Amino acid sequence: MTTSPRTAVPAPRWVTFFNPIAKRLLGVGVPLGYNGLLTIRGRKTGEPRTTPIAIIDVDGRRWVWSPWGEVHWVQNIRAAGRAKVTVRGQTEDVRAAELDETERLRFFRDVLRPVAHDMTFGTQFIKYVDGVDVDDPLDASHGRPVFELLPLA
């Protein structure tokens, strides 16, 4: 678990503006890079909540991370421990395992940084859109929850 405060913080305004557009496009199967839909039961209402999110898929392993810390989907997935992932029209039930501090550092250093460097303007995108410098994995790992998505057996 992270040591971040448990009060949900809002995502930047531009995220709340673009999310409904991305959600519709992803919902009909339009490929948008690493993005997919994450559906989690709300921790208060129990109702399913769906959010577009980058799903980092490397060598058959998948992760999601929150550039803005304790947003609502983070608190929901932590409480539920599972979710539905939809990518290009394919939906799968998954278990979410939150990474500890050491594992988060490894994720930013060994997974996200190489992925960002392989994408055209990837490091710049993550730095200016998400506010995260993947070339400083130690700083990037602080206060940013990361979950590995594991298939339900």
List, for residues 108-149, the tens digit of each pLDDT value: 999 999 999 998 888 888 888 788 999 999 999 999 999 999
- Mapped to the 3 state alphabet, what secondary structure does the chain carry? CCCCCCCCCCCCHHHHHHHHHHHHHHHCCCCECCEEEEEEECCCCCCEEEEEEECEEECCEEEEECCCCCCHHHHHHHHHCEEEEEECCEEEEEEEEECCHHHHHHHHHHHHHHHHHHCCCHHHHHHHHHCCCCCCHHHHHCCCCEEEEEECC
Kindly report, residue by residue over 69-86, the tens digit of the pLDDT: 899 999 999 999 999 999
Query: What's the mean pLDDT in 27-46?
Result: 87
Which residue ranges form the domains of the chain, and what is each CATH number?
13-151 (2.30.110.10)
